[in-house]
Amino acid sequence: MIYDEPRYMPGGDRYMLIEFGNEMNLELNFLAQGLASAIVANHVKGVVETAPCFASMLIHYEPEEISYDDLKREMGRLIATLGPSDNIELPSRLFYFPTAYLDPWTKAAIDDYTAKINPEKEYDAAFVARLNGLSGPEQLVRVHSGTEYWVASLGFWPGLPFMMALDPRCVITAPKYNPPRTWTPQGTVGMGGASTAIYPVATPGGYQIFARIPVPIWDPKRRSSAFEDSICLFRPGDRVKFVPVSVAEFEDVERQVADGSYEYNVVGYQKFSVAQYKSWVAGLDRTKRF
Amino acid sequence: MLEVLKPGLETSVQDYPGRIGFWNQGFPPSGPMDSWSFRLANVLVGNQPGDAGLECQYMGPTLKFNRNTVIALTGADMAAKLDGKPVPLWQSVAVSAGQVLEMGPARAGTRCYIAIAGGIATDPWLGSRSTFHQAGVGGMNGSALKAGHIVPVAAGTGMAGRTVKQSARPPIRTDKRWDIEVCAGPNDDWIDEEGQLRFLSADWKLSSKSNRTGFRLDGPQWTFAPKATNKPPEHGSLPSNIIDHGYPLGAINLAGQTPIILVNDGPSMGGFINPYTVPSAAFWKLGQSKPGEIYNFKQISVSEAQAMARAMKATCSESSII
């Protein structure tokens, strides 16, 4: 559901959360990204920074410069000026990543979690496949790798992309870990709710994990030209395609990354048209899985 | 300059308010957990309140000073000695070149702050000197201090013998119980009324699985409002799952049944609800508490939380020095 009126909620003395709706769709993400841009363009006084996400936006504000109520009024005014999303066309790069699905590294992290924290935990790939009515881990790989992913926002960790499957036939959902894992290998691909993420570094985490990429997605030392503009590889509006590879191929790419010869596989000339995307989706039989 | 002889348990360079403006790329602010004590240490030695200093956790370092300077120690009592003589807390102290500051385990409180006249002068990274350990950025090459590190310090002219008046010091508790202010929201409406009352009346024990990214709490089970269970599947299937959203700093993040307070190095986004938020002016209590100690939460309004922050800012100034 997209709300008729956005919902405003306080987070302590310095934060406001604006929720645009109660579901994951691109419309809501365009609204969040659009509002973030409008705040910057309008130099709204007292806004320190924003963090747009799938269906919401967090605002960090300075209460000595703007009150909570004034900020709420100002945001309402800006949201009203945003146009319909059908008109939106965005520069959108497409990244291809060699991806080892059902790999030994995420398996080791799950085994460690099972041994130390929750012995009841079922293997993530089998668990997610079962919950989504798929035949098993192999079909999960086919479905998960069968779509492009939309980078809706960055967060949780520097450079970590929160992504949405663009092909509705590949949308799968999963609960998060309870309690969370204390560690996850760098480059792990995982999902929670309906979002897919890549862990930029080894961190704690709550997503179900079943794949790994050998390619860095953030680099504070900027060792590759891919990081010239930012130490984070992605920008909102980028797309990602996971290409299944064997462990041997994964390790080969890992060596290329280590010796500096790896070239990022990225398509840079495309634009993403919201109207064209919507008309493509309208013609799909959403009940069919790959 | 100062030389690290022993690093202590986890001593790091921090500044206040830290690395601000990169939340949308996932960079936390970092910075001192008890910014009340931290700012006053800087004021004592004549620095700006936010200049870079050292945060010492649980067990302080042993440092050798390579030139005459003025330092101040605030926050937790780590039985600091300068060439074997006790160093008072909350007071600026003259140090001569070659003298050694030796600190031990925290007695009252958990985090001790060291300010040095001029401030620490490591290279800023994205506009801040604060150390973000987990990502290896800021501070001394992205890490806590290590033995042998030479920490650069800017030139400064501090005065010894200045003291923070008693009424301006944070009242660090030694009875292992803390009353912590919280504001309701953003997602308090996901918790049922009983659950809200339970949260505000229960004893919450700070878990040893806590660090500068999050403080885990052990306590009673949570119960939820209908909206936590009747929701579209993309939220995830646990009652505390929500479509990934931005996290306020200080959010009490409900990961399944485990509440985790997101502190200075915490995550900027994720898929769990945040029923309550610890306001900025109560962070110092988190910074001075130890695993095993008990938190009791007390709900205040957003405007009360903002008034607390204003009062603390006014306290962290020259007006508190005698």
Q: Note the pLDDT tens digit of each residue in B201-231.
A: 999 999 999 999 999 999 999 999 999 999 9
Report the CATH number at residue A121: 2.40.100.10
Q: Are residues A170 and A278 in the same domain?
A: yes
Write the DSSP string, A228-255: SS-SBS--TT-EEEEEE--HHHHHHHHH
| A145 inside 8 A of chain B by CB | no
Q: Are residues A191 and A262 in the same domain?
A: yes
Query: Does A12 map to a domain?
Result: yes
Report the CATH number at residue A42: 3.30.1360.40
Nearest Cα of chain A lies from the Cα of B63 at a distance, in angstroms, of: 29
Query: Does B321 map to a domain?
Result: no
Q: Are residues A15 and A65 in the same domain?
A: yes
Which of B125, B186, B234 lies closest to A23 in CB terms? B234
Q: Are residues A120 and A32 in the same domain?
A: no
Tokens of A18: 């604006």
Distance of CA A268 to the CA centre of its chain: 19
Q: Are residues A200 and A260 in the same domain?
A: yes
**Model confidence at A271, in pLDDT bands (50, 70, 90)?**
confident
Q: Are residues A120 and A245 in the same domain?
A: yes
Answer whether B270's CB lies under 8 Å from B238's CB.
no
Query: Does A290 map to a domain?
Result: no
pLDDT the model gives residue A84: 76
Residues of chain B falling short of pLDDT 70 = none
Q: Are residues B299 and B188 in the same domain?
A: yes
Write the DSSP string, B26-76: T------S-HHHHHHHHHHTT--TTS-EEEEESB--EEEESS-EEEEEEES
Q: Is the ipTM of this complex over 0.90?
A: yes
Q: Are residues B8 and B145 in the same domain?
A: yes
Residue B231 belongs to domain spanning: 177-315
| A69 inside 8 A of chain B by CB | no
Query: Does B77 map to a domain?
Result: yes
Query: Does A156 map to a domain?
Result: yes
Contacts of B71 (CB under 8 A, 6+ apart): B45, B65, B92, B93, B95, B101, B114, B115, B116, B117, B158
Is the pLDDT assigned to residue A203 strictly greater than 90? Answer: no
Q: Are residues B126 and B201 in the same domain?
A: no
Contacts of B166 (CB under 8 A, 6+ apart): none
Residue A152 belongs to domain spanning: 91-282
Q: Are residues B245 and B123 in the same domain?
A: no
pLDDT the model gives residue A187: 97
Last residue of a domain, one of A49, A83, A117: A83
Give the A window 3-42 contacts with B, CB below 8 Å: 9-15, 17, 19, 22-24, 36
Q: Are residues B302 and B186 in the same domain?
A: yes
Q: Are residues A110 and A154 in the same domain?
A: yes
Q: Are residues B102 and B184 in the same domain?
A: no
> What's the alpha-carbon Rg for chain B, to the nearest Å?
20
Q: Are residues B149 and B44 in the same domain?
A: yes
| A195 inside 8 A of chain B by CB | yes
Query: Does B322 map to a domain?
Result: no
Q: Are residues B186 and B150 in the same domain?
A: no
Interface test with A, best of B35, B187, B231, B244 (most A CBs within 10 A): B244
Q: Are residues B70 and B111 in the same domain?
A: yes
pLDDT the model gives residue A14: 98
Q: Are residues A215 and A234 in the same domain?
A: yes
**Averaged confidence pLDDT in chain A:** 92
pLDDT the model gives residue B134: 81
pLDDT the model gives residue B7: 97
Query: Does B320 map to a domain?
Result: no
Contact state of B21 with A57 under an 8 Å Cβ cutoff: no
Question: Pairing between strand B177-184 and B294-299?
Answer: parallel
Q: Are residues A172 and A248 in the same domain?
A: yes
Contact state of A153 with B236 under an 8 Å Cβ cutoff: no
Contacts of A203 in chain B (CB under 8 A): 134
Give the A window 85-144 contacts with B, CB below 8 Å: 131
Q: Are residues B190 and B89 in the same domain?
A: no
Last residue of a domain, one of A28, A58, A83: A83
Peptide bond into B186 cis (omega under 30): yes
d(CA B272, CA B246): 10
Contact state of B280 with A14 under an 8 Å Cβ cutoff: yes
Query: What domain count does chain B have?
Result: 2
Answer whether B219's CB lies under 8 Å from B202's CB.
yes
Which of B137, B250, B269 lies closest to A156 in CB terms? B269
Answer whether A173's CB lies under 8 Å from B232's CB.
no
Query: What domain count does chain A have?
Result: 2
Answer whether B107's CB lies under 8 Å from B78's CB.
yes
Q: Are residues A75 and A95 in the same domain?
A: no
Q: Are residues A40 and A133 in the same domain?
A: no
Which of B213, B274, B303 lies closest to A11 in CB terms? B274
pLDDT the model gives residue A157: 81
Is the pLDDT assigned to residue A85 strictly greater than 80? Answer: no
**Model confidence at A12, in pLDDT bands (50, 70, 90)?**
very high
Last residue of a domain, one of B168, B198, B225: B168
Query: Does B83 map to a domain?
Result: yes
pLDDT the model gives residue A158: 85
CA neighbours closer than 13 Å in the CB half-sphere of residue B314:
8
pLDDT, tens digit (0-9, with 9 covering 90-100), for B264-311:
999 999 889 999 999 999 999 999 999 999 999 999 999 999 999 999
Q: Are residues A46 and A106 in the same domain?
A: no
